[in-house]
Amino acid sequence: MLHKQISVFIENKRGRLAGITKVLGDNGIDMSALCIADTADYGIMRVIADKPDLAEKVLKDAGYAVNITEVIAIYVEDRPGGLAWALSVLDEYEINIEYMYHLIQKSGRKAVVIIRVDNPAAAVDKLKQSPLQLVTRKDLAGTAEEGDG
């Protein structure tokens, strides 16, 4: 249950973010997760989209520097201490987090955390044996019921 994450490197200039989202929208690409990190000179926009290969192509064609990485997504109980418990499970299974961000599921019952780890495939194998629930591509696209898959 690996997810392709699109990372777009953008200059910190007015209109750049609008341009990227316009390219995606004009090509019928739906974003289900988004994170933006910045420095003084540039930003990194990380996106989970329904058509990651098309997103990569159209963004590159539009002149953006794009990279694809694999990430995992887990459900986290939306309650005080829910994230702390999930992170303790990841630690117990010796899964090192490089970075993470979250999105809010439409159901509102659980949060979804996107996690970049040093070995995504191995992390998925470990997490299948853990009490944490992995999020499927269908779940991220909003086409499945919570907990399906």
Domains of the chain (ranges, CATH numbers):
3-69 (3.30.2130.10), 71-139 (3.30.70.260)
- Name the percent of the chain in helix, strand, coil, to the closest 5: 30, 35, 35
Under a CB-based contact definition with an 8 Å cutoff, are residues 27 and 95 in contact? no
Tokens, residue 87: 């992170």
The model's pLDDT over 83-141, given as tens digits with 9 standing for 90+, comes to 999 999 999 999 999 999 987 665 566 788 888 998 888 999 999 999 998 988 887 77
CB neighbour list of residue 17: distance below 8 Å, 6 or more residues apart: 10, 36, 43, 45
pLDDT for residue 148 is more than 80:
no
Tokens, residue 110: 């659980």
The model's pLDDT over 55-79, given as tens digits with 9 standing for 90+, comes to 999 999 999 999 999 999 999 988 8
Running DSSP on this structure, what letter comes out for residue 134? B
Report the predicted TM-score, pTM, of the whole model to 2 decimal places.
0.81
pLDDT for residue 24 is more than 80:
yes
121-124 long-range CB contacts below 8 Å, 24 or more apart? 121/2, 121/70, 123/72, 123/93, 123/95, 124/1, 124/2, 124/72
